Amino acid sequence: NAGVTQTPKFQVLKTGQSMTLQCAQDMNHNSMYWYRQDPGMGLRLIYYSASEGTTDKGEVPNGYNVSRLNKREFSLRLESAAPSQTSVYFCASREPPGQGTFQPQHFGDGTRLSIL
């Protein structure tokens, strides 16, 4: 059971280049998320997808786009990379909670992205 798989694990880009980060989950979860993690900081939500066919902005969506390709896959695209987007990017997925319950998010191991 792989859980949440992110590719690539590492990437170096030049300013202005574009790139798509891939995320796939095999847990049949409805909700998927993209976060970034900067040194000394917690995770900040970029975009999320509550269910297949829907996407919504999080705290820090500027400079990013997302695609919920199907129930398993949720990709994050940087159209024109900037040094401020150097970060570790995490994808997560979650089952929908039942009434008054909590379902934790399950995270991948991240993509470490450096933009020169």
Residues of this chain that bind other proteins (CB under 8 A): 4, 40-45, 48, 56, 58, 90, 92, 102, 104-110
Question: Least distance in Å: CB of 104 to other proteins?
Answer: 4
For residues 17 and 93, which CB has a smaller minimum distance to other proteins in the complex?
93
DSSP 34-65: EEEE-TT--EEEEEEESSTT--EE-S--TTEE
Q: Which residues pair with 43 in a beta bridge?
A: 37
For residues 64 and 90, which CB has a smaller minimum distance to other proteins in the complex?
90
Question: Least distance in Å: CB of 39 to other proteins?
Answer: 10
Question: Least distance in Å: CB of 23 to other proteins?
Answer: 11
Tokens of residue 23, six digits:
């995320």
Specify whether the CB–CB gap between 33 and 48 falls below 8 A: yes
> What SS3 state is found at 103?
coil
Q: What is the distance between the alpha carbons of residues 82 and 18, in angstroms, rounded to a whole number? A: 10
Question: Least distance in Å: CB of 93 to other proteins?
Answer: 11
For residues 56 and 79, which CB has a smaller minimum distance to other proteins in the complex?
56
For residues 19 and 45, which CB has a smaller minimum distance to other proteins in the complex?
45
